[in-house]
Structure 1
Amino acid sequence: MKKITVLCLLLCFYSAIAQDNYDQFWQELLSNNRVSATQTLKKIDDANSIENLIINEIMRVENGRFRANKDFLPTFLNQDNYQNYLYALWNENYFFNTYLDTGFNNKIVGAINSISESNPTHNTIQDAITYLESIVARENKDWATYKSKISNIPSFRNWQYCGVFENLNKSGLDRVYGPETNANNNTPFDAESNGYVNWYTSKNTEEAYQFFTNHEEYGSGVNYAQTFVSTPQDETVILRIGSGSAFKLWLNDVVIFENKQDVVTDLDAYQVKVTFPKGNNRLLIKTAESDYGSYFIMSPLNQDGSHNTNLKESSSYSEYNKSKASQIGATPVTNSFEAFFVDKLNQNPNNFFNAYCLIRTYLRNSKYEEAKK
């Protein structure tokens, strides 16, 4: 069973790095010499490292051994920094595989339960595991558990929607449509081929992810969502954003973030630090979808990474602050998992395993250009 596509993509990188303890192993594996690679791996006296644990699982998959290794997860979850490697290798066979395509078998459900019971401390891992638990409950029609789990994922849930506007030749992200400048419901907006549309209140207040389900019959295009966020004092937070489309984000009519790539991402693909001024604030997102199924999720975090509970959002229009860019101070924040592996690779540029994990981290959020570097 040949399943080394990603490894082969890394071969060009490998040729440029120096030898390390695993050098011979990687050379043999990348040459598709699995027998020699297996023998070489057995000779490496590094059994207690997280690198060795994961590489052994990679080798098991390469040798066609897809059943769960009962010793792997308990040992892995006791390792320092295991959450970084879990994030990077989320969709590998020895964790959750491609569950969106394959569904949740006993092996995947067992992994979800084991990791949940380990009480991960990183908010992204916590929320991602909780989301998987909610989906498993939904698959089993356990609606009480599903609602309980999904409610534990902090995100802005009270939105108004507007759309669909044209995204001809992917030009929609840069076109200025009416909802960008008019937050009120006093005048319908010309959506051109889709007639006239207006702001309306979403009923999707229980879900963490926001889907423009009512817009899908009109096909792909540009959609808007807005919420009004109040705070009794200036509040500096990190907005954590995931989206299935290219998108642009405003706070009080000031652009605070833009992603031009129409790709599918996870719940923390992008982060930006901003200050919500005291009073009422308009938070607006514009998504530009060229295929099918636009969605987003947005969560406020404190600067230490914990969930922020001070900001209160409402889907009801009300007058809002008019701010300047200097007042909001929007600053992009690097994904902490990406930063972890960049730092590891900077410390040891010769470590092929760290390069592999960094690339897998980028690919999890469809950051293909970063992965190529």
Structure 2
Amino acid sequence: MGTLIAPGHLKLALRATIAGIVTYLLAEQFSLPNGYWAVLTAILVVQATLGASLSVAIDRALGTLAGGVVGVAGAMLAGGSPLETVLVLAVAVFIAAALAARSTSFKLAPVTVVIVMLAHPGDVAPWISGLTRVAEIALGGVVGLLCAILILPERALGKLFPHCAKALRLTAQLLDLGRGGLLGQGLDPSAIDRLNAGARLALRAADLRLVEVRAEQAGRLTTQTDPAPVVRGARRLWHSAIILLRNADRPLDEPLAGLVSAALTAATMALSAHMTAIADRLDGQPAPDLSTRADAAGAAVAALEARIEQLNTQGALGGVSSEALTALFSAVSACVHMRENLEDLSARLAEVQGEAP
């Protein structure tokens, strides 16, 4: 169970509080008629990471600008009768909603249209009301973004790596389960489903954080190397574990299992240890030298390949069923791919962390 209130939660709460108070004071100073829109925007813009804050600020700015233009045009075209107002409002909302459907960046446009057309005072020109609304949203966006940048800022990369680490740890457990199934030690389908679901969710969360990292890069808020190869490496390892698991529900024949048990166990355990060490590094925990773990995993997988080649040369695989051979060679192939992907992941991680601020 995670911490109920983590330090990151307190940092976010502090940024949001300061952003809201500062925006309120500025709105009062400038006598904005609906300053609460500026305060709401500032609080909404302050997100867990810089990338997320920048994305929200841009989306609200685009949505408000588009909705303001459509709303002002609608307010100027609307007549004195309720029927004319309803017809123009329907057309304006339809246009804004179509923009929002086309891109989520304009999701605030329909709301802004309604506010500009229906909430402006009768003695104020529609274009002034629309401009005021844009100014309120802009003020909140600027203050919120500045607070995200200046007050205990959180980089998206720090939120991304833990998701990759979780996926790797779950993949290591899947690998151990697959080995047990192949060697006749039992296989729990519910455990496999649970681990697969967890890895899938972790990688999806990593993808979302990756979008935030790229937003920071686009906004010149970081010079961080793109961590996408790290996420791809974690996903490839998970896929390799799935390949091994495809035939794990049908244990190898007992004689064959006895011949390959030691080599297969050593290889999967070394791969799991390497994966766990990388996960520790991703979590910022003390981790052993990755090159040592990589050498151990490479040697163990090479020994497994050599063992299979030896058995094949000796004719020990001649009487084995095709299903058993398929399961065995799939497992060996999965181990080889894991070794290669782990080596690549280690290299990509070194590149990213070597340039981290």
Same fold (TM over 0.5): no
With CA pairs under 8 Å and 6+ residues apart, which has the higher RCO, 1 or 2?
Answer: 2
Greater helix fraction, Structure 1 or Structure 2? 2
Q: Which has the higher strand share?
A: 1
Q: Which has the larger radius of gyration?
A: 2
Q: TM-score, normalised by structure 2?
A: 0.24
